Amino acid sequence: MPSPTEMKWLSDEFNISSTQLHTLSLNQFERWSIGEVVGAQFVRWTLSHKGISDGSLAASSYCPACIQADETPYFRLMWRIAFITHCPIHHCLLETACPNCGRNCWPATYISRRRYASRWTDLRHCPECGHDLSDAPLKIDDKHLLSGKFFRILNGIRDVAFSEFQGDYFRVLWSTCRLISRKISHFVEAGVFDGLHQILPSHEKGLVIEKQRANVRLVLLSSAAWMLEDWPERFVAVCEKAKISRNDFGASDNCSPPWFDDVVKFRLAKSVNWITREDVATAVTQLKANDRQISKNALRRQLGVTESWAINEILDQRRQGTIQELSSLGRHYRYLIEHTPQSRDQQRTLCRDFLILLCSAILSHKIEKVCQMRTVEAELIFERSSLTVEKDSDLEAIFRTLDELSEQYSQGIRPVFLTRAPEDIDYWFLSRFGRKMDGHSVRARFAHIMKNLFEPTLWNSVDVFLFTIQSSGSTQTHPPRCKTEVTSQHAITTDLRNTDETFS
């Protein structure tokens, strides 16, 4: 997909109009979402022109019969598209490598071609060994009908089975292939599709369809195309049989149209009445076995429901953390800081995270709200008078640690993070790159620590400490005083204090 600058250069250099160039590139398929760049991971529906010689990943293919028939051999754009597995003209399976040496032979880039500059050959011959690519035996089977169907839709010929939503066909096909690939075990167990179990040894879990090998793509594509026929009844029936709910759909790289999402949202929403406390307990055990955080959302995804009274009831029974448990967490964090190297801001990050937790406990604010604190708000909070702590050694240690960490963060840690900020930022708690924090990463780090430190009734959630300080009844609600931030020039040169000095 040439950029506008490249298109202009090609037009000027070879005296070809922009309209002609558009039809000679993948840009002509943009309306089908083909060639759409998704992040830095892959280009939708487009095979890599490189591939790997051992065939472990998909690569752009070619038709031996087309190469043989060409007066001047050339490689078709159609061979770059992931859902075309057979030649629409000769009905043979497209080849992905040289039949002699097994190397990928797509004419990729100047860098890959110049390796063979001294023995240049035309596109009919393998650039690696010079073997005639048209010499590969033609593999013809009845599976070519699927590629023929896709080819007709791509060229604007209406398909009866899916004529109502013709313009969105390949977007919906991609989303359905993605679902089958991600939940392949569900469909195999349900016995919905023929041949799906046969590709399990070759199927690469976690890879998008553009990176799956040709035999895997063929089965995924045929399964998805069959599901989309008789829309939406067959699609819904198959999903229900495989126990697929709407929670199994949707992602940042999903390109499905609104009418498809509406069917998923309203037709695949599971009833929550059948979820029992025993089901929730089993799901909790499974999450713990997989070292995953236990939360309401995680349990809903595990059970395939959008809401459940059993989940809400059980997780709402999380008991409140005690002063002793908060103090124990503080001692553990001191140990971590003492044994964590200063490289890559690891100590600074630990100190900042624990300060955020202590602020959450004292202010009775969730982690996310603490991370949203502005500079002025934080300064006002830490300028209040110190706490009057009654005779409680654990509580006294908590506030002493808070006082030390807040001073350390304002004078030594935050100024360092602030110098890395890409722009002016007015939030008190910053990431090590000087950006605003959302709080989820802090939660995740604490959840991992709490899982190994406390009993399961705390549910690995820092929210159990939200009202620990207030409910203790042994102190006022004002946090301790913190010294105001020193000048930036001095703060930049102030490094993280030694752990022994900080927690003496």
Peptide bond into 232 cis (omega under 30): yes
Lowest pLDDT segment from 212-226, 284-298, 323-337, 486-500: 486-500
* 432 part of a folded domain: yes
For residue 446, pLDDT beyond 80: yes
Average pLDDT over residues 271-288: 75
DSSP-based three-state secondary structure for 43: strand
Query: For position 232, what pLDDT does the model report?
Result: 87
DSSP-based three-state secondary structure for 62: strand
Average pLDDT over residues 337-365: 86
Whether 349 and 368 share a structural domain: yes
Q: Tell me which of 477 and 410 has the higher pLDDT.
A: 410
* 149 part of a folded domain: no
What tokens appear for 409 in the block? 């963060």
* 145 part of a folded domain: no
* 153 part of a folded domain: no
Whether 372 and 471 share a structural domain: yes
pLDDT band at 113 (very low <50, low <70, confident <90, very high): low
Do residues 409 and 423 make contact, with C-beta atoms less than 8 angstroms apart? no
Whether 131 and 193 share a structural domain: no
Whether 189 and 123 share a structural domain: no
Query: For position 423, what pLDDT does the model report?
Result: 81
Query: For position 13, what pLDDT does the model report?
Result: 93
CA distance 190 to 183: 11
Q: Tell me which of 279 and 315 has the higher pLDDT.
A: 279
Whether 371 and 479 share a structural domain: yes
How many independent structural domains does the chain possess? Answer: 4
Lowest pLDDT segment from 66-80, 162-176, 372-386: 372-386
pLDDT band at 276 (very low <50, low <70, confident <90, very high): confident
* 11 part of a folded domain: no
Q: Tell me which of 204 and 489 has the higher pLDDT.
A: 204
DSSP state for residue 495 in the 8-state scheme = P
Question: Of 144, 44, 132, whose CA–CA distance to 94 is shortest?
Answer: 144
Percent of all residues in the chain with a pLDDT value above 90, rounded to a whole number: 11
Do residues 65 and 90 make contact, with C-beta atoms less than 8 angstroms apart? yes
User: Measured between alpha carbons, how far is residue 185 from residues 147, 157, 300 in Å?
Assistant: 26, 35, 19
* 140 part of a folded domain: no
Average pLDDT over residues 292-297: 75
CA distance 274 to 414: 50
User: CB under 8 Å to 47, separation ≥6 — which residues?
Assistant: 58, 59, 60, 61, 79, 80, 81, 82, 210
Whether 479 and 374 share a structural domain: yes
* 155 part of a folded domain: no
**Residue 43 forms beta bridges with which residues?**
37
Whether 192 and 104 share a structural domain: no
- Residue 466: CB atoms within 10 Å: 20
Whether 414 and 464 share a structural domain: yes
* 150 part of a folded domain: no
For residue 387, pLDDT beyond 60: no
pLDDT band at 460 (very low <50, low <70, confident <90, very high): low
What tokens appear for 22 in the block? 């558009």
Domain interval for residue 209: 163-267
DSSP-based three-state secondary structure for 386: coil
